[in-house]
Each structure stands twice: as structure tokens, then as C-alpha cells.
Amino acid sequence: MGFVVGMDAGGTATRALVLDLDGTRLGEGVAGGANPNSHPPEEAAAHITQALTAALDGLDAAKVESGVLGMAGSSKLTDPLVSALFTDAWTTAGLRCPMRVITDCEAAFAAGSAAPTGTVLVAGTGSIAARITDHRLTSTSGGYGWLLGDEGSAYWLGREAVRATLRALETDALDALTRAVLDKAGITPTPPRTAWRHLITTANQSRPIALARYAPLVTAHRTAPSADRIITEAVTHLTTLALADRTEDDDTPIVLVGSLIHAHPLGTRLRAELANRTRAPIRTATEGAAGAAWLAAVEILGDNAPRPS
């Protein structure tokens, strides 16, 4: 019996999973991030090899019949030089089957549902919704990045927490969330005007995406008025994204993925809002590599391929 390989290459970590054709897990490997938009392509490709080598340890790589790489930043592989680096990384690990590259959205949807068609909503550092048709991405909503969008994402939550803190300093009306933001930034809240200036300086001295570090404070202090307002607005944004390309009678699955999906109460409220707005089943995905590996099996066995154990 042959094997299949699935990979989930993100900005912070890369995971590889080897399955046999009955869905049994044979090997797993983890390495650093392999998104070629956020890492030098040579480094990203090296992490592909590392994760694959670990997953294939003790196995015959020549028996791998199909492999799928789900990747954030997959469009970067339209550059022939970057594509060559990743192909070399694939073959260096001993694989002889073609490397099929898909988006992380396609892998995430397959991880959460065996259905060929539906919607995946990603709510992590960024935010995007994608329509999947016959296992392939056909349209997207959002996903514009921190400068142009990513509403409801961890970046957005962190930015809104800092903005709420600036407004609170202007009116001398700090609550639990805004005090926590100042504490994390290492800023004394008094005098307020001095704290206001320091927070603006601190936020602007870091990379914009670093604002995401304040996101956990929003859910940790969820009972604070400012936090509740931010969570409510985030749920509205994410629900709108998820339903953007769906008709009212669409009953195909909606798969949720990303760190915010598991952040209480945001994730809980998001699922409840989606349940109120659609009759579609709501699923949660946690392992993109398993989705990619299952899609690799689908290439050989069709839609009846066993799901990963």
C-alpha cells in the first residue's frame, strides 16, 4: 500500500503528515514557517525539507504516491525561482511524486469537512473567507492584509484595543482592558496625556502586525465595556465575511479555522451568530496538514478516500 503526504506551511510553523491509504497516520514533522512572503524563500524552502524529512523518518519516501502542499503565500510560487527552490526542497526529502500546491484555505476546508463545496472562514492574525467548489478555491472575501483590511482578525483586535486605550486616556475613563494594554506596553497610566503620547510612540515604533500581541487582552478582559464593544464588532465583521458569497438557501458547510475561533467568547459568539443567520452546518478545523493529506488521497481514491484517523 502506498502513502500520501500533506503539508500545512504557515507563517510561524510548517507541519507535514504522512498517511497510508486507509487514513492511518504514519509520520509527522514540524519545522519553522515556510510562507515565502514572510520568510526569505531559501529559508522557507529549507523548512519544507525539514518537516518532510521528520515526517518520513523510517519510511520509504519512494512509496509516496501523492503529495499536497497547503501554503499561506502560495501565489509566490508563480515566481520561477521560488518555485524551483520549493521543488528542490520536495525532492531533497526523497519524494518523487509531483508537488501539488494549494492555498491554506483549501487545506483548512478539507480538514474540517469532507464535502467538496462550501465556505472556509480564517480568523487568525489576518482574516479571509473563501468559497471552495469541488475542493478548489473559486472566490474570496477579505484577506486584504493589515493595511487595507483584515477586519475581525487578531491584528484588528489588537489595533482596536490600542485605539480604545487612547480614547480612554483622552477622557480619563480607563477600564480593565485599557489598563491591561498600558501594562503590556510598559506605560504608566498617569499622567494621562503623557501615557497617551507614549502609547502612540510605542505602537508606531513596532511593525504594524505587532499590534496583534494585544489581541489576547480583549478576550481575557471580555467583561470590560471596551472589550465587549470590540468583540461585538469583530463578530459582525467575521460573520459578514463568511456569508458574503453565500445565498440564503445555501446549506453547504462553513468551516472555521484560526486562533480566534477558539478564543472565548469571540469564537462562541461567532458560531452562535452564524447559526442564527444560516442553516448550514458549522465545522471547526484545527489541522491543515491533515486536510492537505486527505486531498492527496482524494487524487488517488476519489472523494471516498478515508479521512485521517
Give the Cα separation of 68 and 55 in Å (integer): 14
Q: With 80 as the cut, is the pLDDT of residue 73 above it?
A: no
Give the Cα separation of 290 and 276 in Å (integer): 30
Region 201-211: mean pLDDT is 90
With the CA atoms of 248, 249, 255 and 259 taken in that order, what torsion angle do they form, in degrees rounded to the nearest 10? 20
Model-level pTM?
0.86
Of 186, 184, 242, nearest in space to 211 by CA: 184
Query: Using one digit for the tens of pLDDT, what is the confidence trace for 175-193?
Result: 999 999 999 999 999 999 9
Three-state DSSP at 38 gives coil
Assign 30 a pLDDT band (cuts: 50, 70, 90): very high
Percent of the chain with pLDDT over 90: 81
What average pLDDT does the structure give for the chain? 93
Query: Using one digit for the tens of pLDDT, what is the confidence trace for 111-163?
Result: 999 999 999 999 988 899 999 999 999 999 998 888 888 899 999 999 999 99
Grid coordinates belonging to 235: 463578530
Region 201-208: mean pLDDT is 91
Give the Cα separation of 143 and 164 in Å (integer): 24
Structure confidence at residue 164 (pLDDT): 98
Structure confidence at residue 163 (pLDDT): 98
Structure confidence at residue 289 (pLDDT): 95
Q: With 80 as the cut, is the pLDDT of residue 1 above it?
A: no
Q: Assess whether the region 3-113+287-301 and the region 116-284 belong to the same CATH fold.
A: yes
CATH superfamily to which 116-284 belongs:
ATPase, nucleotide binding domain (3.30.420.40)
| Highest mean predicted confidence (pLDDT) among 119-128, 202-211, 228-237 | 228-237
Of 76, 63, 133, 67, nearest in space to 100 by CA: 67
Q: With 90 as the cut, is the pLDDT of residue 63 above it?
A: yes
Place of cell 480564517: 122
Structure confidence at residue 72 (pLDDT): 78
Indicate the helix (H) or strand (E) that contains 271.
helix 266-277
Give the Cα separation of 294 and 297 in Å (integer): 5
Place of cell 464588532: 233
Assign 75 a pLDDT band (cuts: 50, 70, 90): confident
Q: Is pLDDT larger for residue 37 or for residue 230?
A: 230
Q: With 80 as the cut, is the pLDDT of residue 12 above it?
A: no
**C-alpha distances in angstroms, 14 versus 1, 33, 34, 43, 285?**
26, 5, 6, 12, 16
Region 8-32: mean pLDDT is 92
Q: Domain boundaries in the chain?
A: 3-113+287-301, 116-284
Fold classification of 3-113+287-301 is: Nucleotidyltransferase; domain 5 (3.30.420)
Place of cell 499561506: 72
Region 81-101: mean pLDDT is 94
Structure confidence at residue 139 (pLDDT): 94
Query: Using one digit for the tens of pLDDT, what is the confidence trace for 280-297?
Result: 999 999 889 999 999 999
> DSSP label at 306?
P
Q: How many other CB atoms are there within 10 angstroms of residue 181's CB atom? A: 26
Give the Cα separation of 261 and 12 in Å (integer): 18
